[in-house]
């Protein structure tokens, strides 16, 4: 792809004025101090050095895109994630100067009246969730055909990013993070809410500057059901089919019962997914690595994962027991509430759970590089896209290239196909066990007959 050259100085300044990001006096205060022949990238750098523009804003303006910086009362500062459900941006309330995460939903999710009603019902339910371990929802609104959520901005990595950067977590830290998630799930459970997409990428860390400690926060309550919002009320409510031959979820963390039925799951399904997350935090591996998506779903239903203490022998026996109980195939064999899990983890948590590092490669380190470095990627499929072109998943509030598991994703397999495969696997195992037992019993009978014959003579 040919490199896209930045616009010239005059075009850049015209774009900046059209954007409405700065007042004329702010533009003049910088532009007038630079030589007339200063290139547009130098003007952009000077504005960034004064804190008047962000890298994201400068890149868009340099690539000739002066619009889509404002949505309602919010000024777009940066683009944080993309995927199948929408875009997520870092934004600032223009009056309150509060930094938030702005999640703009894809119009494809909100096309029908029923989908819009479901969206409103879900966001009203989420608005009741005010808890230290749940990302707070501040607002939900609509501009034209764009629906958006305004959420608390979380400044740390998600747990998927953290493990990919640092490897398996210290045992006490992993126990504390899972305990905090359990506390958030318990509160949501008491409000009648089930998340349906618990996984490391949906658990964010809020870093507190004064103490250096990190609190984990669950993101994206209420969004999972939007995937099949257009399913008729009287057809398919017992399935998680999003369209023909597909179901919704993240196969590495999906409970056996959710693979069959999205709507009839309860909090114990979230606990299974949290158990898979715990496994990942402790080992750096998902429970069933490799294979196709369908094979993963079948294995969640029919197999036990490699024992967590085999991958990490120094684990306390209590931790191993907790992980195994969370990942029990039968919901009745798991913890029945998140509160029970939190109580079991309490003696195992680290006294200081802030021992994680925020170090990560920055795409645009402060004061380094040129804003036009990213202009080469500023074509129609670049990260510098119009807000109205939303086709992406609501990722955690960090850079999308560090979050390979987008939030609330997609295509898995038909429910009927999953059931057939599971039943076929179960029948195959039953036949093998029956054949083996027949051989063993037959051998014992023959041996007894031989012994009787020998003893009789």
Residue 381 has pLDDT above 80, yes or no: no
Read off the pLDDT of residues 259-271 as tens digits, 9 standing for 90 and up.
877 667 889 999 9
| The dihedral formed by the CA atoms of 222, 228, 234 and 239, expressed in degrees to the nearest 10 | -90
User: What string of DSSP letters covers 20-85?
Assistant: TSS-HHHHHHHHTTS-TT--HHHHHHHHHHTTSS-HHHHHHHHTT-----EETTEEEEEEEEESSS
- The tokens 């597909």 sit on which residue? 246
pLDDT at 244: 38
Residue 393 has pLDDT above 60, yes or no: no
Q: Mean pLDDT over residues 167-187, rounded? A: 96
Cα–Cα distance list, 410 to 11, 100, 261 (Å): 41, 26, 15
| % pLDDT > 70, the chain | 69
Whole-structure pTM value: 0.72
pLDDT at 19: 87
27-36, 224-233, 316-325, 349-358, range with the lowest pLDDT: 224-233
Residue 52 counted as domain residue: yes
| The dihedral formed by the CA atoms of 382, 387, 393 and 397, expressed in degrees to the nearest 10 | 90
Note whether 226 and 335 are same-domain residues. Answer: yes
Could you tell me the pLDDT band of residue 1, with boundaries at 50, 70 and 90?
very low
Could you tell me the pLDDT band of residue 406, with boundaries at 50, 70 and 90?
very low
Cα–Cα distance list, 361 to 54, 101, 206, 442 (Å): 18, 21, 19, 65
pLDDT at 249: 60
Residue 387 has pLDDT above 50, yes or no: no
Residue 216 has pLDDT above 60, yes or no: yes
40-44, 244-248, 450-454, range with the lowest pLDDT: 244-248
Cα–Cα distance list, 314 to 18, 304, 325, 349 (Å): 61, 20, 19, 15
Note whether 197 and 340 are same-domain residues. Answer: yes
How big is the CA angle at 103 (ends 4 and 360), to the nearest 5 degrees?
65
Burial of 359 (0-12, 13-18, 19+ CB in 10 A): exposed
d(CA 275, CA 269): 10
Residue 379 counted as domain residue: no
| The dihedral formed by the CA atoms of 42, 47, 53 and 57, expressed in degrees to the nearest 10 | -20
Read off the pLDDT of residues 351-367 as tens digits, 9 standing for 90 and up.
655 445 444 333 323 33
Residue 252 counted as domain residue: yes
DSSP-derived secondary structure letter, 247:
B
Q: Smallest Cα–Cα separation from 369: which of 30, 58, 51?
A: 58
Note whether 46 and 159 are same-domain residues. Answer: no
Could you tell me the pLDDT band of residue 339, with boundaries at 50, 70 and 90?
very high
pLDDT at 205: 93
Read off the pLDDT of residues 57-79 as tens digits, 9 standing for 90 and up.
888 888 888 888 888 888 899 98
Residue 15 has pLDDT above 90, yes or no: no
Residue 2 counted as domain residue: yes
Note whether 50 and 162 are same-domain residues. Answer: no
Last residue of a domain, one of 64, 88, 107: 64
Q: Compare 68 and 344 and report the one with higher pLDDT.
A: 344
41-55, 61-75, 387-401, range with the lowest pLDDT: 387-401
Q: How many domains does the chain have?
A: 2
Last residue of a domain, one of 42, 64, 86: 64
d(CA 167, CA 292): 24
Residue 104 counted as domain residue: no
- The tokens 């925020």 sit on which residue? 358
Residue 265 counted as domain residue: yes
Q: Do 258 and 196 touch, CB atoms closer than 8 A? A: yes
Q: Compare 404 and 14 and report the one with higher pLDDT.
A: 14
d(CA 293, CA 304): 17
Residue 448 counted as domain residue: no
Which tokens is 447 given?
């041996």
Last residue of a domain, one of 30, 64, 98: 64
Residue 240's domain comprises: 155-359+407-415
Mean of all residue pLDDT scores within the chain:
75
17-26, 103-112, 208-217, 335-344, range with the lowest pLDDT: 208-217
pLDDT at 448: 73
Note whether 56 and 163 are same-domain residues. Answer: no
d(CA 396, CA 407): 7
Could you tell me the pLDDT band of residue 304, with boundaries at 50, 70 and 90?
very high
pLDDT at 353: 52
Catalytic residue set: 197
Residue 85 counted as domain residue: no
CATH of the domain at 191: 1.10.510.10
Q: Smallest Cα–Cα separation from 290: which of 282, 299, 281?
A: 299
């Amino acid at each position: 792809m040919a490199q896209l050259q930045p616009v010239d100085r005059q075009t850049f300044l015209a774009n900046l004025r059209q954007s409405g990001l700065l007042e004329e006096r702010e533009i003049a205060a910088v532009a007038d101090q630079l030589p007339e022949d200063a290139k547009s990238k130098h003007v952009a750098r000077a504005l960034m050095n004064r804190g008047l523009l962000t890298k994201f804003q400068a890149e868009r303006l340099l690539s000739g895109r002066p619009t889509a910086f404002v949505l309602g009362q919010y000024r777009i500062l940066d683009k944080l994630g993309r995927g199948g459900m929408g875009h997520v941006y870092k934004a600032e309330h223009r009056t309150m100067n509060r930094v938030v995460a702005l999640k703009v939903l894809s119009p494809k999710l909100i096309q029908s009246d029923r989908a819009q009603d479901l969206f409103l019902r879900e966001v009203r339910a989420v608005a009741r969730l005010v808890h230290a371990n749940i990302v707070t929802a501040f607002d939900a609104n609509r501009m034209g055909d764009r629906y958006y959520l305004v959420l608390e901005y979380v400044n740390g990595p998600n747990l998927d990013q953290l493990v990919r950067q640092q490897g398996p977590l210290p045992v006490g830290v992993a126990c504390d993070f899972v305990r905090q998630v359990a506390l958030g799930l318990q509160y949501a459970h008491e409000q009648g809410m089930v998340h349906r997409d618990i996984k490391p990428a949906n658990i964010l860390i809020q870093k507190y500057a004064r103490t250096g400690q990190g609190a984990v926060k669950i993101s994206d309550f209420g969004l999972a059901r939007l995937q099949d919002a257009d399913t008729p009320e009287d057809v398919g409510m017992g399935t998680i089919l999003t369209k023909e031959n597909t179901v919704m979820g993240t196969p590495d963390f999906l409970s056996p019962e959710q693979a069959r039925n999205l709507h009839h799951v309860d909090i114990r399904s979230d606990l299974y997914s949290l158990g898979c997350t715990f496994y990942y935090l402790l080992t750096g591996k998902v429970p069933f690595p490799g294979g196709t998506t369908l094979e993963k779903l079948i294995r969640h239903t029919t197999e036990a994962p490699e024992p967590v203490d085999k991958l990490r022998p120094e684990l306390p026996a209590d931790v191993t027991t907790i992980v195994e109980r969370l990942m029990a195939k039968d919901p009745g064999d798991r913890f029945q509430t998140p509160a029970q899990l939190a109580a079991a983890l309490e003696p195992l948590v680290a006294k200081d759970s802030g021992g994680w590092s925020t170090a990560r490669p920055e795409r645009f380190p402060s004061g380094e590089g040129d804003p036009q470095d990213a202009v080469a990627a500023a074509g129609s499929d670049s990260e510098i896209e119009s807000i109205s072109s939303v086709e992406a998943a609501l990722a955690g509030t960090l850079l999308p290239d560090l979050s390979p598991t987008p939030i609330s994703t997609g295509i898995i397999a038909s429910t009927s196909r999953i059931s057939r495969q599971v039943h076929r696997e179960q029948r195959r195992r039953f036949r093998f066990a029956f054949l083996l037992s027949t051989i063993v019993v037959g051998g014992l009978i023959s041996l007894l007959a031989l012994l009787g014959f020998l003893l009789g003579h």
